[in-house]
Amino acid sequence: MAKRAVRYAVIDAFTSVPFKGNPAAVCLLETPEDAAAAGEEWMQSVAREFNISQTAFLCRAIDVGSDSPTNGACGPRFHLRWFTPVAEVKLCGHATLAAAHFLWSLGLVNSEVIYFSTKSGTLTAKRVVSSDISDTIDVSSTKAAKFLIELDFPVLPVAECHASETLSIPVTLNGASIINVQKFRAEEEFMVELSSAKDVLNLQPNLEEIQKCAGGAVVLTAPAPASSEFDFFTRYFCPKFGINEDPVCGSVHCALAPYWSKKLGKNNLVAYMASPRGGRLDLELIVETQRVLIRGEALTVMTGTLLV
């Protein structure tokens, strides 16, 4: 039986510099036949083969019409799924940003907004132009175009932890000075505020303890230094998801944005993921609708073909 060719790209998200930010593989299943031939087991195997934090799979759906319930909006719609090397996840920011960049940079869509049908509902990506980027970008061009992408994601509520749930945290963090511990998501990931950005930068957590702890992952965060351009620093450790440290995680900012908005008294925030690769995220909390707008850049570093 003839093999089907599936286009893919590896895209660095939340950065304008190659080999920084967070890499995501994006695979385009162009027809329903491609999607049917692939299947979930194949997708997971591909994600394991790439062995990076996330692999995204796109398949075109019925476009959103002007008579849709989505505020009368219209535009292209794609089914989108995300896989770590070990499991499918329900929400991923950097691979969604990478998927949108893939579609725009290759001229596969002409609309300013793309709709993604996901396990977390309908998510949108919008092409926006920052003040230092020309407003004459032609998104239908296959030439490299510099633009920001704005993701519209739901807020992830945070909850207080019971003392019994956090007994291992000081051991996990090798005795770092802890200000607060909360949890979020169904996996009950721990969000730990430390006393300083220096602690976030320098800490080497006990990954074996993170594997054992009740939560699915541990997020470290702290106020940014006063002299920096950022509001807070963060790192994200998730060995249970098949990667020790996620270089730049967009979805955790759906919990971090409301947390730091309340602490700092503002709804527009600039976050820095302080992993060795590093990445910047511009955030806006929309209190009325409980949404978080996440803005960032991306660039393609590799392209190729998979066979299914």
Confidence category of residue 176, pLDDT binned at 50, 70, 90 = confident
pLDDT digits (tens, 9 = 90+) for 11-24: 999 999 999 999 99
Between 14 and 61, residue with greater pLDDT: 14
Domain regions of the chain by residue span: 5-154+295-307, 158-287
CA-closest candidate to residue 303, choices 11, 20, 5: 11
For residue 131, the model assigns a pLDDT of 52
Confidence category of residue 2, pLDDT binned at 50, 70, 90 = low
Rounded to whole angstroms, the Cα distance separating 172 from 131 reads: 42
Confidence category of residue 69, pLDDT binned at 50, 70, 90 = very low
| pLDDT value at 283 more than 70 | yes
Rounded to whole angstroms, the Cα distance separating 58 from 252 reads: 22
pTM of this structure: 0.90
Between 167 and 226, residue with greater pLDDT: 226
| pLDDT value at 125 more than 50 | yes
Domain 5-154+295-307, second-level architecture: Roll (3.10)
| pLDDT value at 299 more than 80 | yes
Instruction: For residues 198-223, give the mean pLDDT.
Output: 91
Instruction: For residues 283-288, give the mean pLDDT.
Output: 98
SS3 call for 179: strand
Q: What percent of the chain has pLDDT over 90?
A: 73
Would you say the CATH fold of 158-287 matches that of 5-154+295-307? Answer: yes
SS3 call for 84: coil
CA distances from 212 to 113, 183, 221, 244 (A): 41, 16, 21, 13
Domain 158-287, second-level architecture: Roll (3.10)
Instruction: For residues 79-87, give the mean pLDDT.
Output: 96
Among 65-74, 119-128, 287-296, the minimum mean pLDDT is found in 65-74
CA-closest candidate to residue 102, choices 303, 265, 295, 264: 303
As a whole number, the mean pLDDT across the chain is 89
Confidence category of residue 308, pLDDT binned at 50, 70, 90 = confident
pLDDT digits (tens, 9 = 90+) for 24-37: 999 999 887 888 88
